[in-house]
Amino acid sequence: MENGAKTNKTVLSFVQSSGTPTLGNYFGAFKNWHDMALENDCIFGVADLHAITVRNTPADLRRRSLEMYAWLLALGLEPEKNIIFLQSHVQEHALLAWILNCYTQFGEASRMTQFKEKSQKHADNVNVGLFTYPILMAADILLYNADMVPVGDDQKQHLEIARDIAERFNGIYGDVFKLPAPYIGKKGAKILSLQEPEKKMSKSDLNVKSFISLTDNTDVVVKKIKSAVTDSEARVYYGEGKNGINNLMNIYSCCTGKDFAEIEAEFAGKGYGDFKAAVAEAVVAELEPLRNEYEHILSDKAYIEKCAKEGAEKAQYIARKTVRKVMKKVGFYQV
Ligand code: TYM
């Protein structure tokens, strides 16, 4: 693809405003968003409606949504060229989600592993929104006729249900929705917790040592990586039973572009202390410029709000058209 030339594909993805983004969000999603935005028309959203499936204080939700929007700008996603907005600013999301609820089977929604995990984690608040969450996500995608949806591994099942719902709807009413394809990067699609490297790294984990936030400064990154759980073998290679080291190798590979064989060669004869120091240095080098840019953008709230408002207007124009078409197909009375 020539520099600046665009495909005619629509790329779309969202991130929940449920906390400060982590290294997992960055490598699993953001980096791909940035690269794909160079060649495609893109729509990126802050999923603040999804964020209320767990309890927030109103002030926290507002702050996190603004901050998440600032992160998207800090990544270099250009608001003039892409559509970047807050989900709650375009009410068609909730409307289409309701309609799609009626085209989703209880059984298929019950199979979502993330619902099962989250309902265990938030056992005191297993609300219906947590259950219908993937249907709202399907609405996010189908409103904009997205071709490709770059996500981390954990969202794959949600993309499958979005396709199933779209196929079912099209089967009844004709070709209304485009079927979206997931885009899951080869590297970085599953960054694991530093403390429990069987689980994904998550911004809502209660143990702050388990994740690296994009706001963590050098000292914090060094400490968190130093205390990452490994094994007693003290030999750096990618292998079975070495989840902690595999995860750090994956992170190092994402930062440096080196493959596992190169990393093994680089650390042959060296211990985990040296390896962890190198991983920390690579992470800091990757995140520091981004964090500086984020802080710079966050200091200009008026600019963020202007971008968000314009983004929502552009998004709503498309979303309205889709909803109008869907409502007509379903048989809502039009005047
Ligand atoms: P969220 O906010 O949990 O995560 C945003 C993106 O980051 C990816 N990700 C990871 N990738 C690799 N390793 C990890 N440890 C890791 N943690 C998170 C996620 O896969 C995701 O791509 N439901 C979505 C938000 C959403 C959405 C959508 C996504 C709402 N509507 C429409 C795509 C299309 C979510 O909670 O992502």
Residue 126 shares a structural domain with residue 154: yes
Q: Report how far residue 263's alpha carbon sits from residue 3's, in angstroms, rounded to the nearest whole number.
A: 32
Q: Are 97 and 58 in contact (CB under 8 A)?
A: no
pLDDT for res 122: 86
The mean of the pLDDT values for the chain is 96
Confidence band of 4 (pLDDT split at 50, 70, 90): low
Residue 140 shares a structural domain with residue 279: no
**Range scoring the smallest mean pLDDT among 2-6, 144-148, 264-268:** 2-6
Confidence band of 274 (pLDDT split at 50, 70, 90): very high
Residue 29 shares a structural domain with residue 110: yes
Residues 6+ apart with CB under 8 A from 48: 16, 17, 61, 65, 86, 87, 88
Asked if pLDDT for residue 121 goes beyond 90, the answer is no
In this structure, the residue with its CA closest to atom 9 of ligand 1 is: 25
Centre of ligand 1 to C-alpha 178, Å, is: 21
Q: Which residue of the set 6, 178, 203, 223 is catalytic? A: 203
Asked if pLDDT for residue 323 goes beyond 70, the answer is yes
Each residue's pLDDT tens digit, 70-84 = 999 999 999 999 999
Residue 7 shares a structural domain with residue 148: yes
Q: Could you list the residue range(s) of the whole structural domain that residue 212 is in?
A: 208-296
Q: Which of 25, 26, 27, 22 is nearest to 254 (CA)?
A: 27
Q: Which residue of the set 31, 118, 242, 276 is catalytic? A: 118
Residue 18 shares a structural domain with residue 128: yes
Residue 35 shares a structural domain with residue 148: yes
> What percent of the chain is modeled with pLDDT above 90?
93
Q: Say if 195 falls within a structural domain.
A: no
* 200 in catalytic set: yes
**Average of pLDDT values for 284-301?**
98
pLDDT for res 5: 67
**Range scoring the smallest mean pLDDT among 169-178, 202-211, 283-292:** 202-211
Centre of ligand 1 to C-alpha 21, Å, is: 10
**Average of pLDDT values for 272-285?**
98
In this structure, the residue with its CA closest to atom 36 of ligand 1 is: 16
Residue 310 shares a structural domain with residue 287: no
Residue 247 shares a structural domain with residue 318: no
Question: For residue 243, what is the domain's CATH number?
Answer: 1.10.240.10
Centre of ligand 1 to C-alpha 25, Å, is: 7
Residue 23 shares a structural domain with residue 154: yes
- Please, what's the b/e burial string for 28-51 (b: 16 or more CB within 10 A of its CB; e: otherwise)? bbbbbbbebbebbbbbbbbbbbbb
Structural domain count of the chain: 2
Asked if pLDDT for residue 1 goes beyond 50, the answer is no
Q: Report how far residue 154's alpha carbon sits from residue 310's, in angstroms, rounded to the nearest whole number.
A: 31
Which of 64, 154, 158 for a ligand 1 pocket mutation test, highest count of atoms within 8 Å of Cβ? 154
Each residue's pLDDT tens digit, 36-69 = 999 998 999 999 999 999 999 999 999 999 999 9
Asked if pLDDT for residue 2 goes beyond 60, the answer is no
Residue 244 shares a structural domain with residue 310: no
Q: Are 180 and 162 in contact (CB under 8 A)?
A: yes
Residue 135 shares a structural domain with residue 235: no
Classified as helix, coil or strand, 172 is helix
* 203 in catalytic set: yes
Q: Report how far residue 209's alpha carbon sits from residue 211's, in angstroms, rounded to the nearest whole number.
A: 6
Ligand 1 atom with the shortest distance to the CA of 134: 23
Per-position DSSP letters for 57-122, written without gaps between them = -HHHHHHHHHHHHHHHHHTT--TTTSEEEEGGG-THHHHHHHHHHTTS-HHHHHT-HHHHHHHHHT
pLDDT for res 8: 85
Q: Which residue of the set 200, 224, 242, 276 is catalytic? A: 200
Q: Say if 201 falls within a structural domain.
A: no
Q: Say if 194 falls within a structural domain.
A: no
Q: Report how far residue 12's alpha carbon sits from residue 275's, in angstroms, rounded to the nearest whole number.
A: 36
* 242 in catalytic set: no
Ligand 1: list residues with CB < 6 Å: 13-16, 24-25, 28-29, 47, 50, 137, 140-141, 149, 151-152, 154-155, 189-191, 200-201
- Angle, CA of 91, 65 and 35, to the nearest 5°: 95
Residue 184 shares a structural domain with residue 243: no
Question: For residue 60, what is the domain's CATH number?
Answer: 3.40.50.620
**Range scoring the smallest mean pLDDT among 94-103, 197-206, 268-277:** 197-206
